Structure 1
Amino acid sequence: MNLAWMISTGAAVAAGGVLGALVAWQVRSRQARVKQRQLVVLAKEQYVNGTKNLRAANTRLQAALDQEKKALQGRLTAAAAEHRAGVGRLEAQLQHAYAEIERLKASALAIDDRRDPEPVEAHGFALTRPYTR
């Protein structure tokens, strides 16, 4: 074998290897770009679907919140009305109690006026009526 033939064969093999590597590189980079585009499209679809789902959930929750606000407003109105009614009942009872106290005071004063019309100086602080049982 000739040295020139060996060198040319080695150079051809090396050039073929380099050429094959370049072709393989081109094919693999094209496949990688296609795969990257597919993944980007898939990620965008997932993002859009996730956004749609979140918007739908937000709409549902907003409707539930509005409904709860209305229900709360109704409950507050009912509680306020119940409170006002209770206050009204208590005021009526209080007025009745004051009337009863006034009646009892009037009858007690009438009884005391018949017994002792003039106050007695008990301690020197003020003229008071002695407590009688």
Structure 2
Amino acid sequence: MYLIQAHLVFPHPPVASAVRRELLRASTPADGLEHVFVQVADGSATAVLFIRAPSLFQAEAAARGICANFLACSSTHPGARLLSVAVGLVPSLGHLLVSGGDAPGRDAPFGEPSGGNDLPWQHPDASGP
């Protein structure tokens, strides 16, 4: 299974649950889509697509196809654009697994650490230079 991130921009602020629902509807069984997580901020959305595929290349192609279907068929998000599709990196995953779910920044948009830390995987209680 591959974690693929798609970054979309919208002319109007999107609602995460609506984007997630429409991405699920835009997929076909052949895409291998298992789960979708969407986080929105300032007229954009980061969708994390968990795709079962034999290779990364095929997973990214499936994600691009899902996003293309989303853009072509979305009745609630006309004018949305796809900025990028790429393998997703989750720097706080290790901390999340070790801590049992208390990861810093889990409520912050991807790529924005919370608590003022320079490193998104550094726990806010950790002392550092």
Same fold per superposition (TM over 0.5):
no
Tell which structure's C-alpha radius of gyration is larger.
1
